Amino acid sequence: MIQSQNNRFQDFFEDDMYIIFKNYLYNYLLRKYAVEKALRNEKRDMILEVGSGISPVVTPGDRVVYSDVSFLALQTLKRNLGKGMYVVADGMKLPFRSDTFSHTISSEVLEHLEDDQKALCEIARVIKPSGLLVITFPHRWFYFTYDDRFVGHLRRYELSEMENRLREAGLQTIFVRKVLGPLEKITMCVAIFCFSVAQRLRMKEKENPPQPPFGKGGLGGFSSENVQSPGPRAIFLSLFKWINRLYAGIAWFDANIMPRALSTVLLIKAIKK
């Protein structure tokens, strides 16, 4: 739910290969798994995902509403998912009636908003009494580095800080779960550094027209058409998916063996009082 003018990745939302690669990243897979696990065995009515962007964590369905401040993100998402409802909305001023949703999900959103407490109060307002909120958020201030700034994070949170904010909004914590650990922070620092260097190098190539982030035709020259056909590009995509699934298992193990104090991403499930 980053303001569209500040989202450095929005230019790539129409690049099918960017979307494919983003939706198979190990950390996204783990966040999606954690949220779905938290919703398991829940009797769901209307579900709202706040700040879905192009990579929602809620499985699409007829009673799922995806919201984001970016029209382009939702347009792209609707084209790729089909199912669900799509509403352009500012998380700090949700255009829904009070007590509308049985479940609301917000994954890696609050840290992008100037007034996160106002957003939490808005989220609480649209949840039905005894309805549930599932959020994931970047944990521990001492992890805040250049990779956070690069992706538009204004802050990270201590667990006690987040629980206090939820309480002030009228939400009571049911449980807390670890999602990602220190390995994820190391990996993202390296990945963002490489990505930013590549961007700067491409900006200096004045003789060439602007290119997508990883070269002509999309990521490393991979287009949505040629990736479907057999050949090196299709093999690369299959390898990328396999590596990220494998790394997701390693990152999951890292998150679970490390103490919660060292978790880089936490999940909270809370109920509206």
CATH no. for residue 81? 3.40.50.150
Q: Say if 217 falls within a structural domain.
A: no
Q: Say if 65 falls within a structural domain.
A: yes
Using alpha carbons, list the distances in angstroms from residue 185 to 58, 150, 236, 241, 248: 24, 13, 25, 20, 13
- If one compares 230 and 121, the residue with the highest pLDDT of the two is 121
Domain count, the chain: 1
Residue 88, domain extent = 4-184+256-272
Summarize the confidence of residues 253-265 as an average pLDDT: 97
Highest mean pLDDT of the ranges 80-84, 176-180, 229-233: 176-180
Half-sphere exposure of 162 (CA within 13 A, CB side): 27
Q: Say if 213 falls within a structural domain.
A: no
C-alpha 255/C-alpha 262 separation (Å) is: 9
Summarize the confidence of residues 52-70 as an average pLDDT: 92
Q: Say if 267 falls within a structural domain.
A: yes
Q: Say if 133 falls within a structural domain.
A: yes
Using alpha carbons, list the distances in angstroms from residue 214 to 12, 25, 136, 189: 10, 16, 29, 18
pLDDT single digits (tens) 19-59: 777 889 999 999 999 999 999 988 889 999 999 998 999 98
Q: Say if 245 falls within a structural domain.
A: no
pLDDT single digits (tens) 149-187: 988 999 999 999 999 999 999 999 999 999 999 999 999
Q: Say if 171 falls within a structural domain.
A: yes
